[in-house]
Chains A and B, each alone.
Chain A
Amino acid sequence: MLSVTNLKAAYGKIEALHGISFHVERGEIVTLIGSNGAGKSTTLKALMRLKPPESPIVTDGDILFNGESILNTEAHNVVGKLRMTLVPEGRQIFGNLTVLENLTLASWSNPGDSRRDLDHVCGIFPRLAERMKQRSDTLSGGEQQMLAVGRALMSKCSELLLDEPTMGLAALLMYEMFRTLKKLNEEGLTIVVVEQNARLALNMADRGYVLDTGEIVAEGTGADLLRSPEIKAAYLGGA
């Protein structure tokens, strides 16, 4: 459903992606791994069509969503019409609003039946249900991450992009987050996840792409990539 062909993207004059191609099928979990500065977050921002200066300008190539180019689609329409959204790096929740306010704000693009979506999110993250009236910047890191994912789910997306959802989380919470993502995927959500913890991500993902300085250097199923000696050496900490 999502296909990227020879995508080149730049921040001003500095090119960050030198022509990458990959595709995501409906119902898949795809992971992008790579070291810092490889272009993982840049790719997600380009997919979301976020505005510069925070996000890059596409200089060449194309992004197709269900066969149609979305290069001229604005971010709010990517969310509102294409039903694809992003859990951004560093969560970016609305700190001085309560958990409930964060979640209801997120149903902006479909104000209709937000009550049911809210119950759905509370079912997935019972911890958020307990904290509804609490200011969200008083939540723990793990809870904030749950809120960030919950907020994305409120916009009723069918495709979810996640930028380092486990950043700053304790190991146990990391596994929990990935279990939740897996469950959401089984319910039909297509997931693209950028992750520093390559082993964890590849274990969960159907397929993975390895990025290095703006280029895709390896691709394959999660299991294949986990076995590959080069990947092991470069990203999984040796043997």
Chain B
Amino acid sequence: MQRRAINLFFLIAAAGLVLATKEGFFDQYILTVFMFMGINIIFATSLNLVNGYMGEFSCGHAGFMCVGAYVGSLLSVAFFSSSKLFGDPLFPPELAPVLFPLVLLLASLAAAMFGLIVALPSFHTRDDYLAIITIAANYIIISIVENIDAIGGPRGFSGMKRVINSMTDVADLPWMLIWVLLGAFVCITFLYRLMTSTYGKGISAVCQNEVAAEIMGVNTNKVKIIAFMVSSGLAGLSGALYAHVYGYVNAQAFNILKSTEGLVMVYLGGMGSLSGVVLAAIAFTLMVESLRFIIPAVNDLLHAGGLLPAAFELSQIWKWVIIPLILILLMQFRPEGLLGNKELTHVFPRLKRWVSFK
């Protein structure tokens, strides 16, 4: 029972957060940061399944997020709001708070199916080839979306705000925060259950030594494809949530830079460490958001000190120097990530009383 304490703790923390938000304790910006944390947790832990637990190298994870984001957005607009594209809503908008999980589920399934399409041909190859194929898949998905004019093409797609509004009309709650918290909880629980199951042991075996896994009776092809589908399905979930938090979705938000963010979080946390990647996702979100303030501050400071030419301004683009730089430094000095393949309970054994990761 005590080991379930983590669930109870999460529940209380989540309820507290929702309540505090409802009472207007946080401004919209802080709230958005919280939600991005949750989304990043889903995105990073799902990538960790392939890159960490299974030891393959997927580089185009954001592509599946894109599929989830678009499918989720299209479905929720078609279901719950009247639009030029779909006409009248399929369901009465009052049902939005009840049926929204269905939208998330369908978005995840769509992304998982896309994962299957990528996995089937690519898992006959290994290592570097998989990395190349997944990058290609990422670009293919973006190109497809950008060239379908009906869903906005390069202009992007919006209308999800109306769906959120109709949820708020039913009950005045921070709905997106609730969905993100629920999504993160489901994602972490699911991955934990998966990795402690027989299938999870098969995934570890494939990671360690494929031939040895095979001679122990593990169907390596099946295990790899299922892991990849689960991983891309969860990425789709994070995408659907992301689209609804913004209320607007654009294919370019899911380009190779987004995939790189996922890689940074996984390698920061430690490949094959669920708790490590969760912590890394939180830390990474905080870091990226704090750069919004740090970069202008540094810019002002340097100008005041006369260290920068007047015409030269440090812009937010420097984020994309700093994030890859972190990846490089990490590979140089701590290639196994913060926690390596250990869980938090290995590093702090006292935690074992309250929570078990393995």
**8 Å CB contact of B214 from A75, A95, A151:** A75
**Tally of A interface residues using CB under 8 Å:** 29
**8 Å CB contact of A80 from B204, B208, B217:** B217
Knowing A108-B202, A108-B205 are in contact, say whether A155-B217 is a contact too (CB < 8 A): yes
Instruction: Give the nearest-CB partner of A45 in chain B.
Output: B211
**Tally of B interface residues using CB under 8 Å:** 17
Residue A85, interface by CB 8 Å: yes
Residues of A48-103 at the interface with B, using a CB-CB cut-off of 8 Å, are: 48, 50-51, 54, 74-77, 79-80, 85-86, 88, 92-97
Knowing A92-B209, A94-B209, A95-B208 are in contact, say whether A109-B216 is a contact too (CB < 8 A): yes
Whether A105 lies near B205 (C-beta < 8 A) is yes
Residues of A104-118 at the interface with B, using a CB-CB cut-off of 8 Å, are: 104-106, 108-109, 111
Whether B215 lies near A50 (C-beta < 8 A) is yes
Residue A152, interface by CB 8 Å: yes
Whether A93 lies near B215 (C-beta < 8 A) is no
Residue B212, interface by CB 8 Å: yes
Taking the nearest CB of chain B, how far is it from the CB of A222, in angstroms?
A: 26
Whether B219 lies near A94 (C-beta < 8 A) is no
Whether A94 lies near B214 (C-beta < 8 A) is no
Whether A79 lies near B216 (C-beta < 8 A) is yes
Instruction: Give the nearest-CB partner of B219 in chain A.
Output: A76
Q: Which B residues are in CB contact (< 8 Å) with A92?
A: 209, 211-212
**8 Å CB contact of B198 from A108, A151, A154:** A108
How many angstroms between the C-alpha atoms of A96 and B342 in the bound complex? 12
Contact with A along B206-236 (1 / 0, CB 8 A): 0011011011111110000000000000000
- What are 30 A-B contacts with C-beta separation under 8 Å? A48-B215, A50-B211, A50-B215, A75-B214, A76-B217, A79-B214, A79-B216, A85-B216, A85-B217, A86-B215, A88-B211, A92-B211, A93-B212, A94-B208, A94-B209, A94-B212, A96-B208, A96-B341, A97-B208, A104-B201, A105-B204, A105-B216, A106-B216, A108-B205, A108-B217, A108-B218, A109-B218, A111-B198, A154-B216, A155-B217
- Residues of chain B at the chain A interface (Cβ within 8 Å): 198, 201-202, 204-205, 208-209, 211-212, 214-220, 341
